[in-house]
Amino acid sequence: MRKNLFDDILKLKKEKNAIILAHLYQPAEIQAIADYIGDSYYLSKIARDCEEELIIFCGVKFMGESAKILSPEKTVILPSASAGCPMADMATASDLEEMIKEYPDAFKVCYINSSYEVKALCDVSVTSSSALAILKNVPNKQILFLPDRNLGSYIAEFFPDKEFIFWQGFCPTHERITTEDVLKAKEKHPTVKVLTHPECNKEVRDLSDYIGSTSGIIDYATKCEDDEFIICTEEGILYELEKRNPNKKFYFPEKILCPNMKKTSLENVYDALCGKIDEVILDDEISKKALTSLENMHKLGEMVLCEK
């Protein structure tokens, strides 16, 4: 790594009036340089509301797309242009169109981890931190949920009166966590609570003490008086967990890394600020349709927040 790269990025960021956003699964040095770190829901709100005209979004493709849709007048750059999400790629717009024909009355809910073409066909987008709040505000009985069958089945447990139709997508990173891994970790640390992301499969979730989004897991571990936890999600979360809880210990059942989330480097953040990396460009018409789904996410999510 070039000497002083960190300082050069900060200097250039100021000169360009840019903002750097980083997902909690990004490499530690990327989280260290970011202005805001968070899950997809939080970052999408920052991207929508920030004053800066240049957004460097350290994450994967669907995140850059969502930021651009919410702020079409801003320049959004994904420093690692090849960083995609295999789960998002499991749902295509043409397959979804076929499914919609089969279930014409269903309310179409897509996880934010989906392409903007898929979002354009859906009524609302959700994140793992906002999904339960949003679904509470959806009156329809039949819900078509995509692409994550694991998050879908987790949410469905809270809505026994609704009929869910699941897409059979999944996150290959979270699906690698097995019950055997968790049981082994529990054997080593028998009194320690297990905190799990809902992208894990049901068997793993059933062994857990808490299930929640990345930000939910961080909040839980920070507020809880225990000082050790078993964490079932991508290891990038460790950066923020340790930052907020320097005296607590965190164990991972297995080394769980998302190769796409780890593609961002400080070099390409610098290149993005220099204008050497192409900005996110989207089709206008599809973007406008996808915007409705993202705006509904903020509207329906915030309705519940206001009621509290």
Shortest Cβ 37–ligand SF4 spacing (Å): 15
Residues 45-74 that bind ligand SF4 (CB under 6 A): 60
Nearer to ligand SF4, 9 or 290 (CB): 290
Shortest Cβ 36–ligand SF4 spacing (Å): 18
Nearer to ligand SF4, 55 or 85 (CB): 85
Site for ligand SF4 contains 260 (CB under 6 A)? yes
DSSP code for 169: B
**4 dihedral zone (left: phi>0; alpha: psi -120 to 50; beta):** left
Using the structure block, give the residue that is written with the tokens 């609570």.
193
Residues 191-250 that bind ligand SF4 (CB under 6 A): 234
Using the structure block, give the residue that is written with the tokens 């599809």.
286
Tokens encoding 3: 């000497």
Binding segment for ligand SF4 (CB under 6 A), chosen from 90-98, 187-195, 218-226, 258-266, is: 258-266
Residues 71-90 that bind ligand SF4 (CB under 6 A): 85-87
C-alpha angle with apex 126: 260 to 65, nearest 5 degrees?
50
**Alpha helices by DSSP H, the chain:** 5-16, 28-33, 40-49, 61-70, 86-89, 93-102, 116-119, 131-136, 149-156, 172-175, 179-188, 202-206, 214-223, 238-244, 266-273, 284-307
Nearer to ligand SF4, 202 or 248 (CB): 202
Q: Which of 113, 125, 201, 268 binds ligand SF4 (CB under 6 A)?
A: 113
Q: What is the H or E stretch that residue 194 is in?
A: strand 193-196
Q: Which of 70, 112, 261, 286 binds ligand SF4 (CB under 6 A)?
A: 261
Site for ligand SF4 contains 177 (CB under 6 A)? no
Alpha-carbon dihedral angle through residues 26, 28, 31, 37, given to the nearest 10 degrees: 60
What is each CA distance from 201 to 25, 139, 176, 204, in whole angstroms?
A: 19, 27, 9, 6
Binding segment for ligand SF4 (CB under 6 A), chosen from 169-177, 178-186, 210-218, 270-278, is: 169-177
Shortest Cβ 307–ligand SF4 spacing (Å): 29
Q: Which of 56, 109, 171, 185 binds ligand SF4 (CB under 6 A)?
A: 171
Q: What is the binding site for ligand SF4 (CB under 6 A)?
A: 25, 60, 85-87, 113, 171-173, 234, 258, 260-261
